[in-house]
Amino acid sequence: MTFTRVHDARYVARCVVALTDPPRLPTQVIVRHDERPERHQLRATVRVDARGTIELSPRVAPAATDAHDGRAAAATIHGSLIDISVGGVAMQSPVVVPVGAALHASIDWHGDSYRDLPVWVLSCHARAGAHVVRLEFRGLPAAEEARLAAAIARQSARADEKALPEGGG
């Protein structure tokens, strides 16, 4: 059996047939529950849960004040990571981040720092008193992409190890 969550993953469950009714050419099949279905990511890149901090800043240093009304220019936005992949990152922000904005992201995650990564804001939605912001990396330097991919692979392997039943399998 497979169960597909379109924007997430496909789960392959292996279930033992417990009963068929009627026994020949059944119209009903009862199966035992699979406690650990196999998960196949449908995304282009592996995404892992991430706990860390992120700062968003304008790609071009803004003027000290806005010429139209004298307000202070856009400031750095501080947030917390939700998940990360080599394709982008999801974060929680206390403020709205404009969709389509081209920004730099500085990330601290699992003891590593990634500075001034070019990102594009894909979406920003209010949730539970904060905002969930989805960012796409655009023009990520090859060295940073490789370093990030290695960190994500390590984190994914740790998550897989935790998911194994006692005794390692």
7-21: pLDDT as tens digits: 556 667 777 777 788
Same domain, 101 and 116: yes
Please report whether residue 169 resides in a domain.
Answer: no
Give the residue-averaged pLDDT of 90-118.
95
Same domain, 75 and 151: yes
Q: Is 85 helix (H, G, I), strand (E, B) or coil?
A: coil
Calpha distance 117→56 (Å, rounded): 9
Residue 10 confidence (pLDDT): 63
Whole domain around residue 10: which residue ranges? 2-41
Q: In percent, how much of the chain has pLDDT > 90?
A: 43
Residues linked to residue 10 through DSSP beta bridges, in sequence order: 4, 40
pLDDT higher than threshold 50 for residue 71? no
Same domain, 80 and 9: no
pLDDT band at 43 (very low <50, low <70, confident <90, very high): low
User: 74: domain CATH number?
Assistant: 2.40.10.220
DSSP label of 76: P
Same domain, 71 and 112: yes
Residue 106 confidence (pLDDT): 97
User: To which H or E segment does residue 124 belong?
Assistant: strand 112-127
Q: Give burial (CB, 10 Å; 0-12/13-18/19+) of 133.
A: buried
Residue 76 confidence (pLDDT): 92
Give the residue-averaged pLDDT of 106-126.
95
Total number of domains in the chain: 2
Residue 28 confidence (pLDDT): 79
Residues linked to residue 12 through DSSP beta bridges, in sequence order: 2, 38
pLDDT band at 102 (very low <50, low <70, confident <90, very high): very high
Same domain, 97 and 62: yes
Amino acid, res. 46: V
Calpha distance 155→48 (Å, rounded): 7
Between 72 and 41, the more confident residue is 41
Q: Is 59 left (phi over 0), alpha (psi -120 to 50) or beta?
A: alpha
Between 3 and 71, the more confident residue is 3
Q: In percent, how much of the chain has pLDDT > 70?
A: 72
